[in-house]
Every structure is written in C-alpha cells, then in structure tokens.
C-alpha cells in the first residue's frame, strides 16, 4: 500500500488536478500525504553564484524564492482542508525540484507529479520534471495529465509489458492499484519481435504472477506500425482506462533505439494518469 505519498507543490494551474488524485490515493490507502514545495535554490547554485564575477545574489533574492515556496504551501493547505485529507504535512525544501523530489522519494512509496511540470534552478536551464524524476527516482512516479478532470485513478488499468526490468519495476510499484482495479489489461505490442524475452506464450507468466496477487488480468497482443507509445495510448483510450503503467527508459542513443522513444512518447500523448518506474 501507499502509506507515504509525496506530491509536488507549485503555483501552476496543474496543481489542483494533481492534488485531487494524490488526496484520493492517500484516502484509499489510509496513507499520509506530503506536500513538497521547493525554493529552486540548490547547493550547486550557492557554489556557482558565490564564485561568479558578479558575486552571490543578495540575501533578499533568496528570501523571495523562499517566500514564494511558502505561498505555494498555503495553497496546498487550503486544498487539503477542502478535500478533507485525514493525514498530511507540508515541507519546504531548499533545492531545485528535481533533486528535492529524488530525496523525498527515499522515504516515500509514491511520487505524484503533473505532466507539464517544469523545473528551473537559479543557474540551470529548464528541464522536464516528470521525465527527469521518472528516470532517476527510487520509487514509482505517478504523472497526472495537466487538465485531468477527475480524481479517479486505477479502476481500469492498461499495463505495457515488454518483459523488461523497467516494466517489471513499474508493475511492482503499481501493485496496490492493480490489486484493487476492476480490470487490468496487460498489453504486449509487437511481442513477436522480442521472442527471446517473452518466451513461447508472451504475457502468460506475468498474468500468472498478477493472478496470484488477486489481480483481474487479461492479456492482449497487438501489432503496431505506429510504435509502442501510440499503440498503448490507443488501447488505454479504447478501454476507458484511468491508469496506464509502463517502464521508464533513458534516452541515450542506444536506449532510444531499444525502447523506441516510448517514455517520451507516452508523456507527450498521455490523457490518463501514467505510473512509471525506471
């Protein structure tokens, strides 16, 4: 079960859908919800700014960043009270969002982000927060669509399975949701191209494993010339899924060739919550 859930807190329009999903999961698991807001000031920033020709920024500039984070947590507090969350706390972390959430993940069961979340430190360029955290996090990451209209998640689930380590970790991280789902569809895309990994009956071993956990599981094998990500998104939409589970893959040239850009494709096209692990 997800007993400790960390949700990223900022002042973006995506905050409310993200908090609604996180609050629902906390209630379903009788868990504790942690709202984590960041100043955007990392230790690297202190070092680089302190040794730059211009010198360190005035303390007042850092104070403004801290005040902004505190203001974000005021919005978090208001939402927790409105949603009636039973157990929660708020934290301000003196770091950039990427590294703060990686640190928080060491002591949590699940991290909740928004698809459109971006992060910027004082001296580094903007990064895609959801992709970065998914690829480096020690726990599963749940990415919520920016305009997700409901707090429903995990009733109907599509699992992308390629017999890989990342997908296996994502499934393990999703088990609390899979066990309570009404329907779980294990989808294998172009499995005939990876027979050495899948064996004679692709998906059969995974279905047996999930069934032992009480999961109501069905296996579907599909061919797709469009690629894995579009095929999985299409299956999830057709099934009316409110959760897609998949492994997260890095983007070195070799890994991109192996994974076919699945991670980025899923993040770009997702219309339902996406649970990932690396």
pLDDT digits (tens, 9 = 90+) for 110-123: 999 998 765 544 44
Q: What is the mean pLDDT of residues 216-228?
A: 92
- Residue 277, pLDDT > 90, answer yes
Alpha-carbon 7 to chain mean position: 10
Res. 11 pLDDT band, cuts 50 70 90: very high
Confidence band of 50 (pLDDT split at 50, 70, 90): low
Write out the H or E segment, with its range, that includes residue 4.
strand 4-9
Residue 34 DSSP class: E
**What pLDDT is recorded for position 117?**
61
Q: What is the pLDDT of residue 125?
A: 44
For 144, the enclosing helix (H) or strand (E) is: strand 141-144
Residue 260's pLDDT is what?
A: 44
**100 touches 80 (CB < 8 A):** no
Residue 15 — very low, low, confident or very high, per pLDDT cuts 50/70/90?
very high
Residues 6 or more apart whose CB falls under 8 angstroms from that of 20 comprise: 83, 150, 151
- Confidence tier at 191 by pLDDT (50, 70, 90): confident
What's the confidence (pLDDT) of residue 60? 67
Identify the pLDDT of residue 251: 52
C-alpha span between 192 and 213 (Å, rounded): 27
**Which of these, 9, 4, 46, lies nearest to 26 by C-alpha position?**
4
Mean pLDDT (whole number) for 25-36: 98
Give pLDDT, residue 100: 95
**Per-residue pLDDT for 142 more than 80?**
yes
DSSP secondary structure, 53-110, as one string: TT-SPPHHHHHHHHHHHHHHHHHHHHHHHHHT-SSEEEEEESS-HHHHHHHHHTT-SE
How far apart, in whole angstroms, are the C-alpha atoms of residue 160 and residue 229?
Answer: 9
Query: Of 17, 29, 24, nearest to 180 (Cα)?
Result: 29
What mean pLDDT do residues 250-266 have? 61
Instruction: For domain 156-277, give the fold.
Output: Rossmann fold (3.40.50)
Class of domain 4-144: alpha beta
Query: pLDDT above 70 covers what percent of the chain?
Result: 85
Assess whether the region 4-144 and the region 156-277 belong to the same CATH fold: yes
Q: What is the pLDDT of residue 257?
A: 43
More confident residue, 115 or 143: 143
For 164-199, give the secondary structure using H, E and C: CHHHHHHHHHHHHHHCCCCEEEEEEECHHHHHHHHC
108 close to 5: Cβ distance less than 8 angstroms? yes
pTM: 0.89
pLDDT, averaged across the chain? 88
pLDDT in tens, 84-107: 999 999 999 999 999 999 999 999
Nearest Cα neighbor of 262 from 244, 239, 241 is 244
Q: What is the pLDDT of residue 57?
A: 53
The label of the residue with tokens 């393990």 reads: 172
- In this prediction, residues 147-153 reach a mean pLDDT of 96
Give the mean pLDDT of 182-195. 88
Q: What are phi and psi of 180, to 5 degrees?
A: -105, 0
- Tell me the mean pLDDT in the region 17-27: 98
Give the phi and the psi of residue 268 in degrees, each rounded to 5. -75, -30
Domains of the chain, residue spans: 4-144, 156-277
């Amino acid at each position: 079960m997800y007993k400790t859930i960390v949700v990223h807190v900022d002042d973006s329009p995506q905050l409310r859908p993200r908090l609604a999903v996180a609050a629902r999961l906390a209630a379903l698991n009788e868990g504790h919800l942690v709202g984590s807001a960041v100043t955007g000031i990392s230790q690297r920033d202190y070092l680089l700014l302190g040794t730059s020709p211009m010198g360190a920024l005035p303390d007042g500039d850092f104070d403004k960043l801290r005040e902004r984070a505190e203001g974000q947590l005021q919005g978090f507090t208001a939402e927790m009270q409105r949603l009636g969350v039973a157990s929660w706390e708020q934290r301000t972390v003196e770091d950039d969002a990427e590294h703060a959430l990686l640190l928080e993940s060491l002591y949590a069961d699940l991290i909740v982000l928004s698809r459109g979340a971006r992060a910027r430190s004082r001296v580094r360029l903007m990064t895609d927060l959801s992709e970065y955290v998914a690829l480096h996090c020690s726990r599963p990451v749940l990415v919520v669509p920016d305009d997700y209209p409901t707090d429903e998640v995990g009733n109907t689930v599509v699992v992308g399975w390629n017999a890989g380590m990342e997908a296996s970790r994502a499934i393990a991280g999703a088990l609390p949701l899979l066990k309570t789902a009404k329907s779980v569809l294990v989808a294998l895309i172009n499995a005939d191209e990876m027979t050495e990994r899948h064996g004679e009956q692709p998906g059969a071993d995974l279905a047996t494993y999930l069934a032992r956990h009480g999961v109501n599981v069905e296996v579907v094998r599909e061919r797709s010339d469009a690629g894995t990500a579009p095929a999985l998104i299409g299956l999830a939409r057709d099934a009316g899924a409110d959760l897609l589970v998949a492994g997260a893959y890095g983007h070195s040239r070799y890994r991109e060739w192996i994974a076919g850009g699945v991670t980025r494709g899923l993040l770009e096209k997702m219309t339902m919550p996406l649970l990932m692990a690396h």
